Amino acid sequence: MRVIIDGRECLARRGEYLLDVAKRNGIFIPTLCHSDALPGQSSCRMCIVEVVEGGRSKTVASCVYPVLGDIEVKTNSDKIRRIRRTLVKLIHASSPAGKHMEDLLERYGPLPENRFEVAEGEKCMLCGLCVSACEALGTGAISTINRGTAKEVAPPFKEPPEACIGCGACAHVCPGDAIEMKEQGGIRTIWDRNFEMLECTGCGEYIMTRQQQEYIKAKDPEGTVELLCEKCKRKKTVDGFRDAFKNTGF
């Protein structure tokens, strides 16, 4: 497939999403509700671009728009910049205290006075990335509840969720830093539950919760859960290679 993005010719596989093609070719498209580890959600709409296909122009969310033929794409046209600025105002109204606003204001600010009602102090913009991460894990401990202005992310009955394993994936993917997760004295607290942390057997750094270890074991009863942090895993691999070379006499 031949895709021209902002005048640059990029190669794409059939069915590949536009956002991925742009990223691979070093072309920046802003995103908020996107994680490379999860499918596109097109919820924040910040990744909108203008696509010219078959002589017609349309505005699409690049994270869910598959390339199916030769197309031309504009990621930063006047029209796109105008729409993105309106989106930023809407996002600011829904979650002015979210961490994502720092970057958005730097890029698109200062914003004129917001004519939309501003939810002061709110960090969550309801992008749903946390729910998708939890679902992808197979835990499904949180979901969006209610509708309209009462919509929010919460565990069932807003009680500490039994299904939660304290992995923290929801907090890590949240662009607004809206999910509170604390760690103190080997205890992680998230969604009003406390989880015992397990240490890396190499360096002693806390790496996962006991419930997370049990969850992984239950998924693969034959496998073993190595209690090593990424750094110690790499060290172990390098040491293994070194020993193997030593034994061959090199």
Q: Which is nearer to ligand SF4, 160 or 202 (CB)?
A: 160
Instruction: Tell me the site size for ligand SF4, rule CB under 6 A.
Output: 15
Q: How many Cα atoms within 13 Å fall on the side-chain side of residue 127?
A: 32
Q: Which is nearer to ligand SF4, 63 or 153 (CB)?
A: 153
Q: How many Cα atoms within 13 Å fall on the side-chain side of residue 183?
A: 14
For the bound state, the minimum distance from the C-beta of residue 186 to ligand SF4, rounded and expressed in Å, comes to: 17
Q: How many Cα atoms within 13 Å fall on the side-chain side of residue 16?
A: 18
Q: How many Cα atoms within 13 Å fall on the side-chain side of residue 140?
A: 1
Number of C-beta neighbours around residue 13 at 10 A: 11
| Interface of this chain with ligand SF4, residues 26 to 55, rule: CB under 6 A | none
For the bound state, the minimum distance from the C-beta of residue 29 to ligand SF4, rounded and expressed in Å, comes to: 26
| Interface of this chain with ligand SF4, residues 152 to 181, rule: CB under 6 A | 164-170
Looking only at the bridges linking them, the beta strands covering 152-154 and 143-145 are antiparallel
Identify the DSSP state of 64. Answer: G
Contact flag: residue 98 with ligand SF4 (CB under 6 A)? no
| Interface of this chain with ligand SF4, residues 117 to 136, rule: CB under 6 A | 133-134
Looking only at the bridges linking them, the beta strands covering 71-74 and 2-5 are parallel
- Applying CB under 6 A, among 142, 153, 174, 207 the residue interacting with ligand SF4 is 142
Number of C-beta neighbours around residue 249 at 10 A: 5
Q: Give the 3-state secondary structure of residue 73.
A: strand
Q: Give the 3-state secondary structure of residue 118.
A: coil
Q: Which is nearer to ligand SF4, 81 or 158 (CB)?
A: 158
Q: Which is nearer to ligand SF4, 22 or 165 (CB)?
A: 165
Stretch that binds ligand SF4, among 37-45, 53-61, 88-96, 137-145 (CB under 6 A): 137-145
For the bound state, the minimum distance from the C-beta of residue 221 to ligand SF4, rounded and expressed in Å, comes to: 20
Q: Which is nearer to ligand SF4, 48 or 167 (CB)?
A: 167
Q: Which is nearer to ligand SF4, 104 or 133 (CB)?
A: 133
For the bound state, the minimum distance from the C-beta of residue 168 to ligand SF4, rounded and expressed in Å, comes to: 5
Phi, psi of 183 (to 5 degrees): -130, 125
Number of C-beta neighbours around residue 84 at 10 A: 19
Dihedral sign (CA 156, 158, 163, 164)? positive
For the bound state, the minimum distance from the C-beta of residue 142 to ligand SF4, rounded and expressed in Å, comes to: 5
**What residues make contact with ligand SF4 under the rule CB under 6 A?**
133-134, 137, 139, 141-142, 164-170, 190-191
